[in-house]
Copies of this chain bind each other. A is one copy, B any other.
Amino acid sequence: MENQTQNAFRALADPTRRDIVQMLALQDMTIAQLTDRFNMTRAAVKKHLTVLSDGGLIAVEARGRERINRLEPKGMAPVLDWLSYFDQFWDERLNSLKEAVERKSK
């Protein structure tokens, strides 16, 4: 999807999508399971998942008729990269943070 920084920031701009990210941080979930936790239709949740996927923040694994959505930690890297570029005064600490993300995602 080309511009990962933009897609990642855009994915995080919506509160529902940030909630989804937090839920998926606790456990992998199907669309139906996520929909149970929101006051909106499955189609709406699906759209949010597509945006999150474009942002590289989640990955989908097919299991029979189910699709397991799981968090993709390395998708956060462009966001952290941008934060680090934007300002030098917290940079060593942010570099450590980026290393942690890289370790986790391999």
Which A positions have Cβ atoms within 8 angstroms of B? 6, 9-10, 12-13, 15, 18, 21-22, 25, 71, 73, 76, 79, 82-83, 85-87, 89-90, 93-94, 96-97, 100-101, 104
Contact = CB atoms under 8 A, between A and B. Distances in A.
How many copies of this chain?
2
A93 B90 contact: no
Given A73-B87, A90-B101, A12 B9 contact: yes
21 contacts: A9-B9, A9-B12, A9-B13, A12-B12, A12-B13, A18-B82, A21-B86, A22-B85, A22-B86, A25-B86, A71-B87, A73-B87, A76-B83, A79-B83, A89-B104, A90-B100, A90-B101, A90-B104, A93-B93, A93-B96, A93-B97
